[in-house]
Amino acid sequence: MEICRVLTVANRSSLQVGAWLGALMGSAAIVTAPAPAHAACVQATPGSTTSYTITASAGTTVDLDTCPGPAVSGATATVTGNVTAPAGGGAVAIVDGLAAADNWTLIINPGVTVQNDPANPGSGNRAIFGVDTNFRLENAGTITTHNIGQALFLGIGPGTGTLINKAGGTIQSLTNAYAIQTQGDNTIINEAGATIAGGRSAIRSFLGPTGTITNAGTITAQDSTAALDGAIDLQQGGAVTNAQGGRIEGEIGILYFGPTSIVNAGTITGTNGIAIRGPLANSLTLEIHPTSVINGQVSVFRSPGVTDTLRFGGVGAGTFDLDNIDGVNPNRYLGFDVFELTGGSWSFSGSTTQSLTVNGGQLKGTGTFGGLVFGAGSTFAPGNSIGTTTVNGNVAFGDNTTFQAEIAPDGSSDLLAATGTVTISPNGTTLQVIGDPAAAFPQTQTYTIITATGGVTGQFATLSDNLPDIDIAAVYTPTSVRLTYQQDSDTSDKTILPVSLAGALDAPRLFSHLLTGARGGTPMRNITGARFKQPGTGRILVAANATSTMVDASPHRAMRWHTWSTALGATRTVGASASSSAYDTDTYGGAVGAQMSLAGHGNRTLGVAASYLTTQSDSELSDAETSSYLAGVYASANWGALDLSGGVGGGWQETDTTRVIPLIGGGISTATGRTQGATAMASVAAFYDLSIRAGSRAGTRFGPFVTVNSIYAEQGGFTEKGAGVLNLTVRSTQAHQTKTGLGFKGEAQFNAGPIRVTAGMDAAWEHTLGEDEIAVSVALPLAAASFKPRALAADRSTVALTPEVSVEVTDRLSLVAGYRGSFGEETTQHQASAGFTWRF
């Protein structure tokens, strides 16, 4: 047998073809062709066995079996011009008896019309007649019947047929006839934007056991006069999927006479009040999705031995009124035996005596059931927000199921109220408790989430909640499950609370260094404490600025009074310790002061200073800001090679904290606090100048020094705001650090005309006495919980390097800039200062 491979009707020409077989005749029609039957088969390419153009004239029957060329699989015929089958015309048969592998495809292009004869009312006059294996029709045009014949007939064969009505495509019957009649294991796909419209039924199907209809467009039966016709008429059952956006509408939406499954995410409407009907004893599985709309009742024939299932599935959130089950509402569901939930989140209201089995998905709402059974992967969340689900029967929580219970500050909570028993599996079951962290919960509260007249058996394997620092404890009684508070062992991060106190030490530490200098001396680094030999005289001179500019040496004269101002900044990074998180602080601000030189032996000076500094502390997601108002006095004296200096000060601090609390299950809560406290500092330093005994050149000095620096800060108690149940009460606390230092320093001075420049550097090993960690005691009153978060205040031992330079511009004005770096195993600190001194 030779097969013609391509059928082309081009250039929008009119192909006049047969009478009862229609415009195009599908794969298995047996046609006897008059001689010469193959006259219309034109070989498009000489020698080709796969490319043919079919031509025909009125009254001529073209039998593709007789076309020249070998039989090969996969032929495609594309209709590009309008085709009409008038009475008495010829017919085109697309191959007789193809095997399943032949896969013939007929394509109707957009804008093309294929129709039967509008003037011929014959019952056998169809627009398309296809009855063979693996016949595939893709329609983007219009297929129309004007009489009692079908617009399209897909028949039975050893394979399967496929119809794809593409977007913009229409298959329609304009009279009391079916738009499509199909037989066999065929697949019908009506895409979004496509239409199948029948005068009687849009689709009358004798589908086989694997036949399917999938709709995302519109399927309607417009003018049905038969009492038992539906928009889709399943004579032998089958499977129908109505996707979201799909519409099926008729006097009856879907009518079925065999085992049937229907999945609906779109709209099914019965204009006579029946959306889905099964008048005989055949099983139906109806799965509705959250977007499902069914207008009219669903009526199944209840019969012994036949099971009808109503299933709730899909994705997203859906609602269902249980009063619609065997009730009196117009949109009711009559005759179902089995009720199950397999997907989505479904909220139920109303009441039914039926039991529901949940195997996946979430059951919510305030409905009343005859019983509930929860299988693996399912979730139960009574109420909508807070509410009660009632069961007039038994409830069973199987392995790997979840009960979600919401609680509120007023004592209300979700509730499962059962008249029978509640059985809880110990294997993988979870009780999840959800509360609003921003709500103001009382300090004591008990919630009842399950009551069972017949008794409670078993306990949930795990219990979790979304409230950091609080654990919800379950209390099981013979007939109930209740919830109470207890402390959570997995606490939220509270490091910012001790970190804020550790950061509050940075300002007095920086101010203390200013008062005595890191290596001995007075503010702005030895404004009067440095000593140099006057070149050529051996006279000892006293420095008059921050880095040892001479007071009474030429070229500038000594001044008794000094005023100064400086900008200050410091940054500190602290690594994580075994008990605290890493954090960093930044301190910045300024200081001013005045001092006078005292007459008499010892080159003595006395001064006062004031400072405002801001410290910002950051730890993970939380932060604190401390404002420090500081004042102090300082003094220095010189006896030969020995320099001594010291200072004391104090002040007031205000700290604002912001603590970010990540919530279990997502989201954050923010707690804020404010506290105040005092601070104090004291320091002494001693330097011994070896340059005098060493006979070094004038303008240099070097030698060892020691320092002792003690700082103190306190914070008053406070209670956080903004995080509701998670607000902490922070007890008053204080921190005290004393740091000793031993080091060596050197300075050199040179003149550049009238300008004198002094550069210095010192290095020191510093050691902290006492505790190197700061602890803060906090409490969570709601859960009677207490915590003691810690922060690493500083490394116990560090190395400090301090380079500085000053420029004496005139006998009244000096400029100074300095840096101090402190380096430890876990702590790195950088300080900088820049300012000026005015003498008079």
Residues in a beta bridge with 830: 571, 821
Enumerate residues 6+ apart whose C-beta is below 8 A from 29.
21, 93, 94, 96, 129, 131, 132
In the structure, what pLDDT confidence band is assigned to residue 108 with cuts at 50, 70 and 90? confident
Phi/psi at 176 (5° precision):
-75, 70
In this predicted structure, the answer to whether residue 267 has a pLDDT above a threshold of 90 is yes
Side chain identity, residue 491: T
* 516 in a structural domain: yes
- What range defines the domain where residue 620 resides? 496-570+584-689+704-744+768-792+816-839
Q: Which helix (H) or strand (E) holds 114?
A: strand 113-116
pLDDT averaged over every residue in the chain: 78
In the structure, what pLDDT confidence band is assigned to residue 40 with cuts at 50, 70 and 90? very low
Q: Tell me the two tokens of residue 217.
A: 């467009």
**Do residues 816 and 525 make contact, with C-beta atoms less than 8 angstroms apart?**
yes
In the structure, what pLDDT confidence band is assigned to residue 602 with cuts at 50, 70 and 90? low
Q: Which helix (H) or strand (E) holds 693?
A: helix 691-694
In this predicted structure, the answer to whether residue 540 has a pLDDT above a threshold of 80 is no
Residue 604: the pLDDT is 86
- What is the spatial distance between Cα 495 and Cα 618, in angstroms, rounded to a whole number? 10
Residue 556: the pLDDT is 45
Highest mean pLDDT among 78-82, 182-186, 574-578, 653-657: 653-657
Q: Tell me the two tokens of residue 828.
A: 């790195």
* 444 in a structural domain: no
Residue 226: the pLDDT is 53
In this predicted structure, the answer to whether residue 8 has a pLDDT above a threshold of 60 is no
In this predicted structure, the answer to whether residue 353 has a pLDDT above a threshold of 90 is yes
Residue 552: the pLDDT is 33
* 149 in a structural domain: no
For residue 39, the 8-state DSSP code is G
* 809 in a structural domain: no
In the structure, what pLDDT confidence band is assigned to residue 3 with cuts at 50, 70 and 90? very low
- CA dist 504 → 493, 569, 652, 687, 690 (Å): 19, 14, 10, 29, 38
Closest CA to 519 of 742, 831, 828, 830: 742
Q: How many helices (H) and strands (E) does the chain have?
A: 4, 71
For residue 300, the 8-state DSSP code is -
Residue-wise DSSP of 478-531: TTEEEEEEEE-SSPPP-THHHHHHHHHTHHHHHHHHHHH-TTSSSHHHHTTT-E
Residue 738: the pLDDT is 92
Residues in a beta bridge with 648: 633, 682
Residue range 143-174, pLDDT digits in tens: 887 766 555 665 544 457 788 999 999 998 88
Closest CA to 73 of 55, 100, 93: 100
Burial class of residue 232 (count of CB atoms within 10 Å of its CB; 0-12, 13-18, 19+): buried
- What is the spatial distance between Cα 155 and Cα 26, in angstroms, rounded to a whole number? 8
- What is the spatial distance between Cα 259 and Cα 676, in angstroms, rounded to a whole number? 78
Residue 667: the pLDDT is 73
Query: What is the Cα Rg of the chain in Å?
Result: 47
Chain center to CA of 580: 28
Residue 697: the pLDDT is 72
In this predicted structure, the answer to whether residue 727 has a pLDDT above a threshold of 70 is yes
* 625 in a structural domain: yes
Between 9 and 781, whose confidence is greater? Answer: 781
Give SS3 for 46.
coil
Residue range 455-499, pLDDT digits in tens: 999 999 999 888 776 778 898 999 999 998 765 555 677 888 888
Residue range 705-723, pLDDT digits in tens: 999 999 999 999 999 998 8
Phi/psi at 496 (5° precision):
-60, -25
pLDDT over 70 percentage in the chain: 73
Distance between terminal CA atoms of the chain? 123
* 13 in a structural domain: no
Residue 774: the pLDDT is 83
Between 600 and 630, whose confidence is greater? Answer: 630
Tally of domains within the chain: 1
Closest CA to 551 of 560, 592, 607, 643: 560
Residue 90: the pLDDT is 30
CATH number at residue 620: 2.40.128.130
Residue 227: the pLDDT is 56
Residue range 181-210, pLDDT digits in tens: 887 778 999 999 999 998 888 888 876 667
- What is the spatial distance between Cα 482 and Cα 499, in angstroms, rounded to a whole number? 39
Residue 339: the pLDDT is 97
In the structure, what pLDDT confidence band is assigned to residue 35 with cuts at 50, 70 and 90? very low
Mean pLDDT of 307-325: 95
- What is the spatial distance between Cα 431 and Cα 436, in angstroms, rounded to a whole number? 17
- What is the spatial distance between Cα 830 and Cα 821, in angstroms, rounded to a whole number? 5
Q: Say which range, 116-125, 244-253, 714-723, has the weakest mean pLDDT.
A: 116-125
Highest mean pLDDT among 39-48, 74-83, 356-365, 769-778: 356-365
- CA dist 96 → 9, 183, 206 (Å): 20, 18, 22
Closest CA to 518 of 798, 801, 834, 833: 801
* 150 in a structural domain: no
* 831 in a structural domain: yes
In this predicted structure, the answer to whether residue 4 has a pLDDT above a threshold of 50 is no
In this predicted structure, the answer to whether residue 725 has a pLDDT above a threshold of 90 is no
Q: How many C-beta neighbours within 10 Å does residue 665 have?
A: 10
In this predicted structure, the answer to whether residue 23 has a pLDDT above a threshold of 50 is no
